[in-house]
Amino acid sequence: MPVFPLRYFAQFAMIPPMKRTPYSCLCVIVIPVILMGVCPACCPAQTPVQQPAVESPPAEQPAAAEIAAKEAAAESTEAPEKGAKAPPSGASVGEQFSSILAKLDPELLWRKNGIVAWLWLLGYIFAGMVLGKIVSVLLLRVASGKEGVIAKFFSDMAGPANLALVTLGIFVGLHWLTLGESLEEFAAQVIHLLFTLSVFWYAYNLIGMIDPLLRHLSRNSASALDKQVAPLVRRTLRVFLLILTVMYVFKDVFGQDIGAWLAGLGIAGIAVSLAAQDSLKNLFGSITIILDRPFKIGDRIICTGYEGVIEDIGFRSTKVRTGAGHLVSIPNANVVNSPIENISRRPGIRRNLTINLPSNTPAEKLKQAAAIARELLESEEFREPIHPRINGEASAPQVTCGEIVNNNLQLAIAYWYVPAKAAEFNQHTERLTVRILEAFEKAGIPLAPAK
């Protein structure tokens, strides 16, 4: 038995029996076994027992020579000349990755580190995953007790924090491994990339806070912000953030030169502007809609022959839900260049009712018919919603008679119904029409037959 375990047992024997705990008894057995098995350097070698010399079989010598040659080749690969860099700077990401794969020797990497180093790596990764899950749950629990922007601030942090802590576990665990120079550089790039993605993820989520923030500002300001502003601002900022993140990853993580890319964007911009004229028209059309505000999300409009409710205003098109349930996408360029009838912004619903009476109707009956209509319009049952103030002026119902069309006398009734709610207006219309017909029938006023 090696000297180190003997000394360990001797120190354990000096502990009084009353102070020996089950934990110390377990440690005195497990720790020496682990140290003897995975860390032979901790156990000084003893004088070996003299054994008769046994020559190794000739077949094993080529194998030992092959291993020694592989280690020498790996050392020469991992120690390049001073000033040389593997892979060369300016190489593309694909070339860097191919170079690393070409120099990677899994067998040698496993033999150089040992099982303890790999267990430390797995342990730190597992610890990062557990800690990330705990932090995510805590952040979501904090967010559940908040409202609005503050709740979204904490809830959006859960996923990125989990990724960052797992990456931190990988970063710490890799310090226990002995890697080659090129593999260490690649591992650093991967760690940098993961941390960058966690920051980008959180910033991407934070942009979603624009919706509740604008809703909060619209409640506290005199000029309310329309609902279509927030989606456009959110999408624009996210596209801009995505472009910046891609450029940062290629330049600072993988060391690529993006100057040529930026120079090429000027030439590409001219080509794109010529090839995508319609898309640019639609983009500027969406900006015109936001600035001019002919409608907002939720309004009922009639445009380019379609009538429906606005559901979304995007960069390219405006989506309208028709009465039949169909979703119609109208290009924004067509919207701004076409007449728009905004039904939702009407002050009330205008009704024009025409009642045809026979041409031989006596004058007294004609006057009686007009009086009946005026009396019903002024009654408590129908008066309130049809005596509104339009643009600050009183608008009373009008009843006129005397027009002769197709040998029929016409009794015209016109009024505004407020508020402009179609369902309530239809019910009011039905009740008023039935009451007029009942009153005419009771007074003996005939109606002209349909032609």
Handedness of CA 106, 111, 112, 118 (dihedral sign): positive
Q: How far apart, in whole angstroms, are the C-alpha atoms of residue 250 and residue 256?
A: 5
The predicted pLDDT at position 227 comes to 58
> Domain spanning 279-345 has what CATH number?
2.30.30.60
Instruction: Give, for all 451 residues of the chain, the pLDDT tens digit.
Output: 444 444 444 444 455 544 444 434 434 433 443 333 334 334 343 334 444 444 444 444 444 445 455 555 544 444 443 343 444 445 565 666 666 666 666 666 777 777 888 888 899 999 999 999 999 999 999 988 887 778 888 888 888 999 999 999 999 888 888 777 777 888 888 888 899 999 999 888 888 877 677 666 655 444 444 555 667 777 888 888 888 888 888 887 777 777 777 676 667 667 666 666 787 788 888 888 888 889 988 899 999 999 999 998 888 899 999 989 999 999 999 999 999 999 988 888 999 999 999 988 888 998 999 999 999 999 988 988 888 877 777 888 999 986 788 888 889 999 999 888 888 999 999 999 999 999 999 999 998 887 6
In the chain, the amino acid numbered 451 is K
Q: In what order do the strands lie in the sheet with 398-405?
A: 349-358, 408-417, 398-405
Q: How far apart, in whole angstroms, are the C-alpha atoms of residue 92 and residue 170?
A: 25
3-state SS assignment for residue 450: coil
Q: How far apart, in whole angstroms, are the C-alpha atoms of residue 143 and residue 146?
A: 5
Query: Encoding tokens for residue 75?
Result: 């050392």
3-state SS assignment for residue 412: strand
The predicted pLDDT at position 395 comes to 83
Number of separate helices (H) and strands (E) present in the chain: 15, 10
pLDDT in tens, 308-317: 999 988 888 9
Domain ranges of the chain: 3-42, 87-275, 279-345, 349-443
The string of DSSP codes covering 349-407 is: EEEEEEEEEETT--HHHHHHHHHHHHHHHHSTTTTGGGS-EETTEE---EEEEEEEETT
Taken as a whole, the chain contains a residue count of 451
3-state SS assignment for residue 145: coil
Q: Give 113's DSSP letter.
A: H
Q: How many CB atoms lie within 10 A of CB 179?
A: 18
The predicted pLDDT at position 69 comes to 54
Handedness of CA 131, 136, 137, 138 (dihedral sign): positive
3-state SS assignment for residue 139: helix
Q: How far apart, in whole angstroms, are the C-alpha atoms of residue 4 and residue 121?
A: 27
The predicted pLDDT at position 24 comes to 45
Question: For the whole model, what pTM was predicted?
Answer: 0.45
In the chain, the amino acid numbered 146 is K
Q: Beta strand pairing status for 317-322 and 393-394?
A: unpaired
Q: Out of 3.40.50.2300, 3.30.70.100, 1.25.40.10, 3.10.580.10, which CATH number does the structure's domain 349-443 have? A: 3.30.70.100
